[in-house]
Amino acid sequence: MKGLKPLFLGIFATFAFSWLGLALVPNYQIGHLDPQSDEEGTDVYPMPPSGMAERGRKVYAANGCFYCHSQQVRPDTDSSDIDRKWGDRRSAPRDYIFSRPVMLGNERMGPDLANVGKRAPADDSNTAAPVASPAGSPAASPVAATAAASSAAKPAPSRPGVPSVPPTAPPAPSPATSLDSSPKSNGVAPAYSAAWHHQHLFAPRALDIDSNMPAYRFLYQNRRINGERSADALTLTGADAPPTGWEIVPTYEAKCLVAYLMSLDQSHPLTEVKSNAPPTPPAAGKAATK
Amino acid sequence: MTPTFSTYDAAEVPLKAPSVSTDVLTSEVEQVERALIDASTRVPVLMFYTSAIVWLLIGTVLSVLVSFKLHSPDLLGNVSFLTWGRIHPAQMDIMVFGWASMVGMGTAVWLMARLCRTVLRHPLLLVAGAAFWNLGVLLGVGAILGGDSTGYEWLEFPPYASIVLFVAYSLIMTWAVLMFRFRRGEQIYITQWYLLGAFLWFPWLYSAAQLMLFAVPVQGVMQAAVNWWFANNLLFLWFGAIALGTAYYMIPKVIGRPVHSYHLATIGFWTYALFSSWTGMQRLVDGPFPAWMITASIAATILTIIPVATVGLNQHMTMAGNFQLLRYSPTLRFTVFGAMSYTVFSAVGVLISLRSVARYVNFTEASVAYTQLGLYAFYSMIMFGSMYYIVPRLVGREWRYGSLIKLHFWAAVYGIGLLTLMLLAGGFVQGSSMNDPSLAFSESTQSILPYLRGRTLAGLLMMAAHCVFAFHFGLMLFGLGRTASVPTFLNPMETEDSEPQL
């Protein structure tokens, strides 16, 4: 076949066409979005993440969390994402303007995390109310059984420095409560609280027997208790618990990772997306379908 | 060919056509010429192949480990660099950049030299390119295992590793394209189209992605769009183009007759370049993107039926009447399997891109099956076929054992077949339970466990195939092949009039 010029031109043209169409034009369309705010310039969303959360995003990327956890809620016309309480509305480009790298994910070996920060208990340091997340923690009962059984054998560390066990808590048979935990007897912190995330990252199958998530134990430090037990030491039971006199504390990376997870929240209404959430007054009038 | 010519220094051979005196047969001259060209490509191409096979073995071991960990998550979980989240991207990138890219460049360089009918000048520069490429992959994989992944699929290598890869690539590409400039003969064969395309598309693709993700990063979800655009085009315009070009060379060469229709081949090439480069966004269906992007990609995916049909028809017509040769020729068997897998790969691609199906299989293992079909059943099998053809011409020996080739073929075919079936079926099961909000989410991950165990079995089969192949290749490399004038057949040759060229 003759004619080199048409060949080279064609090779470049086809590729340029695809680049133009799938990278440049969309970038023009959705690549320069600003946070939205109301008329007074308040109620800005989204906000740039904190330094710790930003660092946690790197930990999240480096350890490949995004290969199994997506961060996008699809519309309820095509999926059950909203029925699963993964979000009140579908995700929109504006939700991600501060995300770098953006990790939408393309596989769900684990649940979607787009709103995992939203699912945390409202006041996560001393809540005594039962946690309202039955949909999110399917295996609560077997965990409770195993954990309660094993907590009897567990040595009870004394923690005089921990102030936050609410005085109104029901009489707990086990002393295995920690800073962030609910007064539930099994030592499991309220789902999606910071303490729960740490327990879950350290020993996923202690919280959900069916979980196939790998444990990220290298993000935690096993160290001897010097004097008092640290406030942020993990409450662990059974085989996961450290020997007496030792404690397991999160490294700074683990704390950043949890800060990142807690920061994931797309619940704020966006004008361009219809929300299924109970309408909040300022957004209700403006909610428009697009 | 005879090994006698391989002792000549190819660079000293004058480039003009050897003057043919009347008492020398043209065919003999051509044979000498081919031997000289083969000799000039020997060191670089063997270096590419050897590196590729080493990466393949490492990647296979890691991928079996990855597969095991999906159903036994506590296996070797206490060491940071052996956790699933790190070895998964490491094995993927080893397969993409270590195995697939290196074997592809080896084959492409050899094909270019053969088709341009010119010796490879300065082969040492290609060797340096291959060495740099290895260094880049090594750096990148080390970075991933050490916790420095960037968080973009198939682009996990941090920029310092990508730069090394890019330098290596410039060395390699320059020489491949230069060869084209020094070609002899007016004809440009269809294989050269695909190879030129691949060699020119890759650097643009890679640098555009690097630029838009790292140098001048785009905002928010656009990163995901660029990421998918890159991964998809890498699969089609780099690996796919090399594989199709190779198939267009190997099939006619082995059966000894020209491509059925040149016209069809041209249509196939341009529609392939046009439509397949627009696919990719269908993987983001219902994501936070303008709907037109996804619709455009779904349409393009459906339109890829045109190149699939033309390429498939053309190769089928070329093969017609010669299917019995699949019994004997290893090259033909691997290549035809790969070419047929191209059709299956595209059909699966169309199926899972349809919105009504995608709502079930999005976010499931079915998309892994699709990638594996493209990267392994289509691309890698054609590459294996080309290596069975090229390596004997480089080392001057024939493959030692026909039985080992057969073992390699069947273990690989059963491996990839089982893997695809398991992941596709598992993906549908996983997706339908994920899509039913009355079931707990863990139901969907539990329902796919048996399929994941089947996938591990498939991985073990493929590991066996690769070990057999690596062993056989090692024998060739150390000069332990057969010294025979007839190529190694899969089955003993029955009496036939026309000897296949193999």
**pLDDT value at position A274?**
80
Q: CB of B323 within 8 A of CB of B486? A: no
Q: Which two tokens stand for residue A207?
A: 């919280």
> For residue B222, which residues of chain A lie inside 8 Å, CB to CB?
23, 26-27, 30-31
Query: In angstroms, what CA-CA distances link A147 with A153, B389, B432, B466?
Result: 10, 62, 32, 46
Which of A62, A92, A104 is the closest to B224 by Cβ? Answer: A104
Q: Identify the CA nearest to B296 among candidates B268, B275, B310.
A: B275
A63–B86 C-beta distance less than 8 A: yes
- A212 reaches B (C-beta below 8 A): yes
- What tokens does B345 get? 């790969």
- Cis-peptide into A46, omega within 30 deg: yes
Q: What amino acid is encoded at A148 in this protein?
A: A
Locate B224 and state its tokens.
């995901």
Nearest chain B residue to A3 by CA distance is B188
pLDDT of residue B490: 85
Looking up tokens 């729960």 gives: A196
Chain-chain contact of B288 with A96 (C-beta, under 8 angstroms): yes
Which tokens in the block code for residue A245?
């006199």
pLDDT of residue B244: 96
The per-residue pLDDT for A136 is 38
ipTM over 0.95: no
Is residue A29 exposed (0-12), middle (13-18) or buried (19+ Cβ within 10 Å)?
middle
φ/ψ of residue A111, rounded to 5: -65, 165
pLDDT for residue A263: 93
Q: Does B274 sit within 8 Å of A97, measured CB to CB? A: no
Q: Do B147 and A208 touch (CB under 8 A)?
A: no
List the beta strands (DSSP E) in chain A: 220-224, 246-250
Of B78, B283, B290, which has the smallest distance from its Cβ to A29's Cβ?
B290
| Cβ distance of A214 and B85 shorter than 8 Å | yes
**pLDDT score at B201:** 94
Beta bridge partners of A224: A246
Put simply, the chain A residues between 213 and 232 with a CB less than 8 A from any chain B CB are 213-218
Tell me the β-bridge partners of A249: A221
Distance from CA of A125 to the nearest CA of B (A): 28
- A168 vs chain B: nearest CA distance in angstroms? 33
Two structure tokens written together for A241: 């618990």
Question: Among B145, B148, B181, B219, which would you mutate to test the A interface (most chain A Cβ atoms within 10 Å of its Cβ)?
Answer: B219
Contact flag B86-A11 (C-beta cutoff 8 Å):
no
Residues of A in contact with B78 (CB under 8 A): 215, 217-218
Report the candidate in A153, A152, A191 with the shortest Cα–Cα distance to residue A172. Answer: A152
Put simply, whether A98 touches B (Cβ < 8 Å) is yes
Which range, of A129-138, A274-283, B314-323, averages the lowest pLDDT?
Answer: A129-138
pLDDT confidence of residue A277: 61
Task: Supply the mean pLDDT for chain A.
Answer: 76
Place of tokens 């990421």: B227
pLDDT digits (tens, 9 = 90+) for A82-123: 888 898 899 999 999 999 899 999 899 999 999 999 888 875
Q: Which helix (H) or strand (E) holds A235?
A: none
Q: What is the dihedral of CA A282, A286, A287, A289, to 10 degrees?
A: -170
Whole-number pLDDT of residue A129: 36
Minimal CA separation from A32 to chain B, in Å = 7
Instruction: State residue B494's pLDDT score.
Output: 62
Question: Please, which residues have CB within 8 angstroms of residue A127's CB and are 6 or more apart in sequence?
Answer: A121, A182, A190, A193
Q: Does A175 score more than 80 pLDDT?
A: no
Sign of the alpha-carbon torsion through A111, A114, A118, A121? positive
Give the Cα separation of B440 and B448 in Å (integer). 14
A4, A18, A211 member nearest B233 (Cβ): A18
A220-224 and A246-250 beta bridge pairing: antiparallel
Tell me the three state secondary structure of residue B473: helix
Matching residue, tokens 């973009």: B152
- Interface A–B counts its CB contacts (< 8 A) at 231
Cα B415 to Cα B438: distance, rounded to the nearest angstrom: 35
Going by C-alpha positions, the residue among A165, A209, A226, A1 that lies closest to residue B74 is A209
Quick one: pLDDT band at residue A130, thresholds 50, 70, 90?
very low
Cβ separation A107–B368 shorter than 8 A: yes
Minimal CA separation from A288 to chain B, in Å? 16
List, for chain B, all residue ranges whose pLDDT scores fall below the cut of 50: 1-20, 496-499
pLDDT tens-digit profile of B255-267?
A: 988 999 999 999 9
What are the pLDDT digits (tens) for A57-80?
A: 999 999 999 999 999 999 888 788
Q: Name the residue facing B283 among A66, A106, A111 (closest C-beta).
A: A106
pLDDT of residue A180: 39
Backbone angles phi, psi at A89, to 5 degrees: -150, 165
By Cβ distance, the residue of B73, B233, B363 closest to A106 is B363
Chain A residue with minimal CA distance to B224?
A102
In this structure, the number of other CB atoms found within 10 A of the CB of residue B479 comes to 10
- pLDDT higher than 90, residue A2: no
What is the Cα–Cα distance from B416 to B418, expressed in whole angstroms? 5
Contact B53, B134 (CB under 8 A): no
Question: What is the rounded distance in angstroms from the CA atom of residue A196 to the CA atom of residue A191?
Answer: 6
* Residue B273: C-alpha distances to residues B150, B268, B351, B405, B454 (Å): 29, 9, 21, 33, 36
Q: Which residue of A has its CA nearest to B193?
A: A7
pLDDT at A230: 86
Mean pLDDT lowest among A149-158, A237-246, B307-316: A149-158
Whether A36 and chain B come into contact, CB under 8 Å, resolves to no
Angle subtended at Cα B203 by Cα B202 and Cα B205, rounded to the nearest 5 degrees: 65
The answer for residues whose C-beta is within 8 angstroms of residue A273's C-beta and 6 or more apart is A89, A90, A92, A290
Backbone phi and psi for residue A222, each to the nearest 5 degrees, phi listed first: -100, 115
Q: Do the Cβ atoms of B266 and A1 come within 8 Å?
A: yes
Query: Which residues from A are below 8 Å from B71, CB to CB?
Result: 212
Residue A183 has a pLDDT of 43
> Mutating which of A30, A217, A270 best tests the B interface, going by the most B Cβ atoms within 10 A?
A30
Chain B residues touching residue A4 (CB < 8 angstroms) = 188
- Name the minimum distance, in Å, from the CA of A34 to any CA of chain B: 10
List helix spans (H) across chain A.
4-19, 25-30, 51-62, 140-151, 194-202, 204-207, 252-263, 281-284
Longest dimension (CA), chain B: 85
User: Any bridge partners for residue A275, and if so which?
Assistant: A89
CA distance to partner chain B, nearest, from residue A166 (Å) = 32
Cβ pair A214:B436 closer than 8 A: no
